[in-house]
Amino acid sequence: GESVGLHLPTLSVQEGDNSIINCAYSNSASDYFIWYKQESGKGPQFIIDIRSNMDKRQGQRVTVLLNKTVKHLSLQIAATQPGDSAVYFCAAYFTGNQFYFGTGTSLTVIP
Amino acid sequence: EAQVTQNPRYLITVTGKKLTVTCSQNMNHEYMSWYRQDPGLGLRQIYYSMNVEVTDKGDVPEGYKVSRKEKRNFPLILESPSPNQTSLYFCASSLNRGNEKLFFGSGTQLSVL
């Protein structure tokens, strides 16, 4: 079946440093990707998305990079803050009207 | 405020006792979906709906039912819950089709004893 995975289950960074969270997907036909942030006890919160006709997209303090050749997605968070501590996961949309989700990377920001 | 609302947030029940988890969105979205989230696994889709009266199975539909009689509501029904359905459930919606930004509810933690 389709799979979406994250490279590291946990990541710790110093406050102010940049964070990079990675994700790999299996289906080259996937054409839409989303990064979500999930805080404890809350639902997933949309961060940023990217379609397959792009390889980079920037938001406020966040950048998503898409490498379709190796089927890899990354989320970069600039100047990481304590409020960024959460679980981050990627979602890849495959034909068949559904997303497949990674298991998540738990980001801890050390003050 | 645009949102997806699920109720209840927490539910403890016993095996075999029918239950319904409600989901409502106020964004006039056509697409709605239910997921379960279990430790060590990514979100897995249970059922989805492309529009009113149109529902389809996701990856893990066994033991669940849904209905979409109105655009805003998409309840999840467990006719005879079993302990393996203990999980964290999320409802989500998007404007149309499925490859658009998905908005999630706050979740329903279900425990089946």
Least confident of A101-105, B22-26, B59-63: A101-105
CB of A44 within 8 Å of a chain B CB? The answer is yes
Note whether B101 contacts A46, CB cutoff 8 Å.
Answer: yes
Render each residue's pLDDT in chain A as its tens digit; 111 residues.
567 776 688 999 999 999 999 999 888 788 899 999 999 989 999 999 999 999 999 999 999 999 999 999 999 999 999 999 999 999 998 766 678 898 899 999 999
| A-B Cβ pairs (cutoff 8 Å, strict) | 57
Query: Is B42 at the interface with chain A, CB within 8 A?
Result: yes
> What is the per-residue pLDDT for A12?
96
Specify whether the CB–CB gap between B26 and B72 falls below 8 A. yes
Which of B5, B99, B106 is most worth mutating to test chain A (most A CB atoms within 10 A of its CB)? B99
Output the pLDDT for position A2.
Answer: 66
Average pLDDT, chain B: 94
Q: What does each C-alpha distance from A13 to A28, A78, A111 come to in angstroms?
A: 31, 11, 9
The residue among B106, B89, B110, B107 whose CA lies nearest residue B13 is: B110
Window from A24-28, B6-10, B84-88, B90-94 with minimum mean pLDDT? A24-28
Which of A89, A93, A102 shows the shortest C-beta gap to B98? A93
Q: What is the pLDDT of residue A6?
A: 65
Question: Which candidate from B58, B106, B107 shows the least CB-CB separation from A98?
Answer: B58
- Chain B's closest residue to A37, CA to CA, is B104
Q: How confident is the model at residue B98 (pLDDT cuts 50, 70, 90)?
A: low
Tell me the three state secondary structure of residue B29.
coil
Report pLDDT for A78. Answer: 97
Under the banding of pLDDT at 50, 70 and 90, the label for residue B80 is very high
Chain A contact for B75 (CB, 8 A cutoff): no
β-strand partners of A71: none
Query: What's the confidence (pLDDT) of residue A41?
Result: 87
Q: Give the residues across from A51 on adjacent strands.
A: A32
